[in-house]
Amino acid sequence: MEHYYFDNAATTPVSASVVQAMTAVLANDFGNASSTHSFGRRAHDLLDQSRRTIAQSINAASVDEVIFTSGGTESDNTAIMSTAAAYGDRGHHIITTAIEHPAVLQTMARLEKQGFEVTYLPVDQLGYVTAAQVAQALRPDTILVSIMMGNNEIGTIEPIKEIGALLADRPVVFHTDAVQAYGVLPIDVQALNVDFLSVSGHKLHGPKGVGFLYAKNGVKLVPFMNGGEQEHKRRAGTENIPGIVGLAQAVRDLDGPNKATKQANLLALKQAVLKELAQAQVDYHINGPEPMDSLPHVLNLWFPGLPTNLALTNLDLRGFAVSGGSACTAGSLEPSHVLTALYGANAAEISESLRISFGSENTLAQAQALGQALVTVVSDYLGH
């Protein structure tokens, strides 16, 4: 039986070009980038080249604004905890949203235990917050606004540029979690006016265990790991050169028009699944914005009357891997905090929805086959 992977918002398969780039480093370049001999200098050159590639991809003003980390969670934690440590003498108020990734929400909960006050902005039924909501929530003691660029469960793209413009002349640090957005949307950190931006390699066909944090020059950064002076004293620990080179290769693969092409291809896959459901007259509803308005790789569907766990099992038995929500919480019995924020704690959508997320290795034929499998599962269970 063929197996098809449609859970790319959880993680993506590593591309052949990334495997090749990493294998070459693993085989030939084992030096420590902090060493001054030829082996170390070679590793440091690879580090510099990778940093330039990534800085250019987001239009950073300086290559030094890119800090390599272990991934999105560390990048989120660093941005938030650093701001609390660096600017806590100015105020103890933070603004975020109710639908952030657990890496943000749990860090906020930690800060609340330390005496910080966090405002969790509600979202509408499509998952949006507005710049007006942020403006209304701002206080004289607000030091940080942290709002994700694209939601990992329903694909909502938040108005980061408008919020950045609102905060441009205010003494407030602005962080955005771009883990889901970076691989599919064009990003210009200067146009967005963000101070921190988080990215993870394994969401864009790169390796796990590596990511980066964009930190705007002039914004204070207090490292929360102690150790050596790597990453210009901002992130201790010997750099993962093979992983960083793999991340940079994944970024090169998305260069320029490649990202726009990927965006169009992913949207076509999404529409192919919906076309199969529509032709079979399956009763479904989209959670979040319409396909053209959301992240092109994320599709969250409610099938009234079809329990999520039953649908997941039956699709898996047919060779299709999808999910019921964020992979970071899927192993628990807790309901999706994102769908709860949209519909309320007792809504049927919470226990009857599926997240389908597409990647570069999916084909149109696979998407059509997934749509047909969904039709079969719904029909078998609901009897029509």
- Domain end marker among 222, 253, 284: 253
Same structural domain for residues 278 and 138?
no
Residues 236 and 282 in one domain: no
- DSSP-assigned letter for residue 159: -
Looking at the structure, tell me whether residues 123 and 214 fall in a common domain. Answer: yes
Instruction: Please tell me the predicted confidence (pLDDT) of residue 226.
Output: 83
Q: How confident is the model at residue 332 (pLDDT cuts 50, 70, 90)?
A: low
Res. 34 pLDDT band, cuts 50 70 90: confident
Q: The CATH number of the domain where 161 resides is what?
A: 3.40.640.10
Same domain? For 168 and 211 the reply is yes
Picking from 350, 365, 248, the residue whose alpha carbon sits closest to that of residue 303 is 350
**Mean pLDDT value across residues 359-372:** 97
Shared-domain flag, residues 218 and 271? no
Q: What residues make up the domain containing 47?
A: 16-253
Query: Over 60: is that where the pLDDT of 324 sits?
Result: yes
Are residues 146 and 236 located together in one domain of the fold?
yes
Tokens of 87: 């600017």
List active site positions: 328
Q: How does residue 238 score in pLDDT terms, banded at 50, 70 and 90?
A: confident
pLDDT in the model for residue 325:
67
188 shares a domain with 227: yes
Q: What is the CATH number of the domain that holds 327?
A: 3.90.1150.10
Cα of 44 vs its chain's centroid, Å:
28
Question: Looking at the structure, do residues 289 and 249 belong to the same domain, yes or no?
Answer: no
Residues 294, 227 share a domain = no
Domain shared by 241 and 299, yes or no: no
The residue out of 228, 253, 278 marking a domain boundary is 253
- For residues 110 and 153, membership in a common domain is answered with yes
> Do 8 and 39 belong to one domain?
no
Residue whose C-alpha is closest to residue 99's, from 290, 331, 296, 336: 336
Contact criterion met (CB below 8 Å) for 326 and 11 = no
* Domains in the chain, number: 2
Among residues 253, 281, 296, the one where a domain terminates is: 253
Give the model confidence (pLDDT) of 43-100 as tens digits.
899 999 999 999 999 999 999 999 999 999 999 999 999 999 999 999 999 999 999 9
pLDDT score, position 331: 52
